[in-house]
Chain A
């Protein structure tokens, strides 16, 4: 039996040695059977990625191209497999998105290519791969990360979707406005018991939960921004689409409620330091629709103001809102046909698609900006809870 003699960290080279026959055990224990909610909670963010990379470094160090290839293939296939099996679990998908990105960053940071070494310490530079150029595998991992990102967005949308209409449109939180209902309209929420239970607070709590999980998984800040922007897009698109289809949502008071809800979402972005994510901008069509519900709609000057204000809405959308607009009390009037005609004439020359509804399936292209880590590989220790005793620190 080998005796474990404690060594100082400076003696380690930041590699993990393993036998070829243990590779499947590595994938099984570290990828397929690792529960993000279990032991992974206490790991340093990205630890699975660092462990896999340190194994890869050793295979590179001993100049075994076959070992490098099979480890990369098994790793990629392992990640694909767990995402197939638990693809509907938000935490699993988020966990492997951040680890796939970290693995990709490691392949760049330690590639030996100068452009990726700018922030490395001298010690980190000593840890660069010595025998193989893995640029092609980086492309495969980047493709995998794109796939996982799209899966993550889908899972998150599935969680958010049932909350949006209820929380953004139906539920009323502003005192004094909610008392007045558009006349002659049935309250549609009452027939759908489940939907009625979600409020704006449910949405904010869900966003908090998404955000804290991604932070806990060590997701790159730039990637978090893109995810949140995508979620804001879906919130805005689903809300606007419903507004465009429901007369009972097109009133002055709904405009007020929507603007309040949007301000709360904005406040959330500010609180999370995500104001530069572009998330708020995705709500612009909804913001303008809410403003449209609230402005005067009578004179030519009103028409001119509306046309210059609603540049994120299509003519079809503006006209639809005006047509659906329902007065809440006797002091207001329906929008006249001639006013709507004036708007249509003014907007005649706009070059735009005639589409009424926003595309709720739209996904913004994702990028994974290089994010090197300051972590020193030689200091990484493997917790026994990962069941990886067959790996030897080198």
Chain B
């Protein structure tokens, strides 16, 4: 790969507390 020249895109992140609402791929475990 050639060295990367273009700037990286900043990914905005939610706060740690806000992450709770983004349980995108969490699977409910079987009891």
Contacts from A to B (Cβ < 8 Å): 23-24, 27-28, 32, 65, 68-70, 72-74, 76-78, 80-81, 112, 126, 128-137, 139-140, 143-144, 147
Contact = CB atoms under 8 A, between A and B. Distances in A.
Contacts, number: 73
25 contacts: A65-B9, A65-B11, A69-B11, A70-B24, A72-B13, A73-B19, A73-B23, A76-B19, A78-B26, A80-B19, A80-B20, A128-B4, A130-B1, A130-B8, A131-B9, A132-B10, A133-B8, A136-B10, A139-B13, A140-B13, A140-B14, A140-B15, A143-B15, A143-B16, A147-B16
Contacts of A73: 14, 19, 22-25
Nearest 3 pairs of A and B residues by beta carbon:
A136-B13, A24-B25, A133-B8
Given A24-B26, A74-B24, A112-B4, A132 B9 contact: yes
A70 B25 contact: yes
Nearest to A137: B13
Contacts of A23: 25
A198 B20 CA distance: 41
Given A28-B27, A140-B16, A143-B16, A77 B22 contact: yes
Nearest to B3: A126
Contacts of A74: 24-26
A72 B11 CA distance: 11
Interface residues of B, number: 21
Contacts of B29: 32
A144 B9 CA distance: 23
A112 B22 contact: no
A77 B27 contact: no
A77 B13 contact: no
Contact of B19 (A32, A65, A133, A140): A140
A134 B9 CA distance: 8
Nearest to A127: B1
A126 B1 contact: yes
Given A32-B29, A112-B4, A130-B4, A136 B23 contact: no
Contacts of A27: 25-26
B26 A81 contact: yes
Contacts of A130: 1, 4, 8
Given A70-B24, A77-B20, 6 more contacts: A72-B13, A73-B23, A126-B1, A130-B4, A133-B11, A136-B11
Contacts of B8: 112, 129-133
B27 A24 contact: yes
B16 to A, nearest CB: 5
A272 to B, nearest CB: 32
Nearest to A33: B29
Contacts of A72: 13
B26 to A, nearest CB: 6
